[in-house]
Amino acid sequence: MMIKDGFAKYGLSRTQPIIGLVVLIAMVIWGEYLHLIDGNLPVYLIAGLMIGYVLTRSRFGFAGGVKRTFYRGEGSLAIAIIVLLAITAIVNVGIQWFAASKGALPAWEITNANTQSVIPGTQNVRIGNISIIIGAFLFGMGMIMAGGCASGTLSDFGEGEGHAWMAFPFFILFAAPGQYLGYELDNTAIGKIGVTAWLPQYIGYGGALALTLFIMLVLYVFVKQYENRKKQQGLYVNPKSDWQAFEKPIKDDHSEPFKLFSWRTYHKFFVERWTFITGSVGIAIAAIFILITTGKAWGVTTPFVSLDQKFLQLFGMNFTSPAFDETAKAMQNSLWVDGGTIRNIGIVVGAFVAFLLAGRFSWKFKMTIHDFAGYALGGAFMGLGARMARGCNIGALYSSITNFSIHGYLFMGFLILGAAVAIKLFAGKIALLPTYKESTKSIFVTSGN
């Protein structure tokens, strides 16, 4: 089958791949421009494009790991997230050990950043306190209400999903207030109560990795047991039942010889949906790339604070609180040359390109006023929660756990609790929070995000 015939068969756009190619060329040109400003900036763009493409191509998302488990009774995405954590931790322990063997120190022990190197990833080691608990709970509720987590909101934005376009502005708007509230709470008497623990300091690098992998194994067993219980109750849905027809692999009946320029080849490379496990490997590669090239773990929401500050300054607001020291450097220049902002833009564009190359991009803005309110409130909760906890599902969970900070597990626990509460309160009341219909054994969750 010719490529044009394949697009026609599945009702996909033949012109969108051309647009996607143009967008990629534009990214190359922008990358060259960024290189002239700062040789490190293209690295952020490349990482963002990688992450956005993988998230969309595999329909991978942290919020989806919770939603699919609760709604569908199957833990395929939750297991893929566990695999992602395990793979990243295995590589990160080697990176950290090597840096320490060369004299690098944890971030909190650095007195002179100009002369002393930092162990990559230790910037994500924080106190597990009330700010983490409240922030994680709010973020967990928000990601369910908004239809996606922080990284998922960016990729969904690039996919043309209306819920992300509604949630994202409120996510940004409440990021700076969340930053301030988190700082103020951290400096109260109750905020100082907590535990700061970097596992290699207490049980060595080998012990830290062994304990992390053991916890991942426990989580895996728990998910599988939950899944088996749902199977016994008849509430289990096949993990691939939500794959659209054009996303499924084309069966090879060996009736046609292999052709490089054919629909089968194009479909395999640009249209066929990747499994969640493939997505977890791709994201792990991108996150490790970030750690190696920047010396810091992947994060998403700190640039949101800078963007919010820039916006609020238009209305005469000033940010003199020490809470905003973290974004002071970014605020000195245009955000167009801020590495974190560039990476987030790359995630949006990477997701956009993934859909364009598949010829499946479309705007999805069919929603009720209740949907809009839910998405907006969800975005606000995510903005407040993420910055109160100084990180989202990426910075405070993924990057913290894989860099052996105990507070990452605290964040994960209360994120799941917040998500469960949101599901209980809002299931079936706004779109992307559907109720499971036992009579038809059907489910209406269309993406992992």
Rg (CA), the chain: 22
Average pLDDT over every residue of 155-161: 96
Predicted TM-score of the model (pTM): 0.93
Closest by alpha carbon to 358, among 177, 160, 185, 209?
Answer: 160
Taking only the tens place, the pLDDT of each residue in 87-111 is 999 999 999 999 999 999 999 999 8
Please calculate the CA angle 244-248-251 and round it to the nearest 5 degrees: 145
Position 432 pLDDT exceeds 50: no
CB count, 10 Å around CB of 226?
Answer: 16
Q: What is the per-residue pLDDT for 18? A: 97
What integer is the mean pLDDT of 165-184?
97
Predicted confidence (pLDDT) per residue in 335-365, tens digit = 999 999 999 999 999 999 999 999 999 999 8
Task: Report the pLDDT averaged over residues 50-78.
Answer: 93
pLDDT at site 440? 33
Tokens 């930092």, located at residue: 118
For residue 21, the model assigns a pLDDT of 98
Model confidence band, residue 112 (pLDDT cutoffs 50, 70, 90): confident
212 Cβ neighbours under 8 A, 6+ residues apart: 85, 86, 89, 199, 401, 402, 404
- Judging by beta carbons within 10 Å of its beta carbon (0-12, 13-18, 19+), is residue 23 exposed, middle or buried? middle
Of the pLDDT bands very low, low, confident and very high (cuts 50, 70, 90), residue 442 is: very low
* Pair of tokens at residue 75: 């833990």
**pLDDT value for 433:** 43
Whether 45 has a pLDDT exceeding 70, the answer reads yes
Query: Which whole-number Å values give the CA distances from 414 to 44, 132, 424, in the listed order?
Result: 30, 8, 15
In degrees to the nearest 10, what's the CA dihedral of 279, 280, 282, 283? 110
Do the Cβ atoms of 51 and 347 come closer than 8 Å?
yes
Q: Which residue has the higher pLDDT, 186 or 329?
A: 186
Q: Is the pLDDT of residue 261 over 90?
A: no
Instruction: Provide the pLDDT confidence category of residue 434 given band limits of 50, 70 and 90.
Output: very low
Decide: helix, strand or coil at residue 406: coil
pLDDT confidence of 47, banded at 50, 70, 90? very high
Overall average pLDDT of the 172-201 stretch? 97
Angle 380-383-384 from CA coordinates, rounded to 5°: 85
Residue 394 above 80 pLDDT?
A: yes
Residue type at 227 in one-letter notation = E
Query: Which residues, including other chains, have CB under 8 Å from residue 336's CB and lie 6 or more apart?
Result: 342
Lowest mean per-residue pLDDT among 63-72, 238-247, 426-435: 426-435
Per-residue confidence (pLDDT) for residue 429, from 0 to 100: 62
Helix axes 62-72, 130-146, angle to 10 degrees: 70
User: 235-272 burial by CB neighbour count: b if 16+ within 10 A, else e?
Assistant: bbbebeebeeebbeeeeeeeeeeeeeebbbebbeebbb
Kindly indicate the confidence band of residue 253, based on its pLDDT and cuts at 50, 70 and 90: low
- At 122 the pLDDT is 97
- DSSP single-letter state for residue 249: P
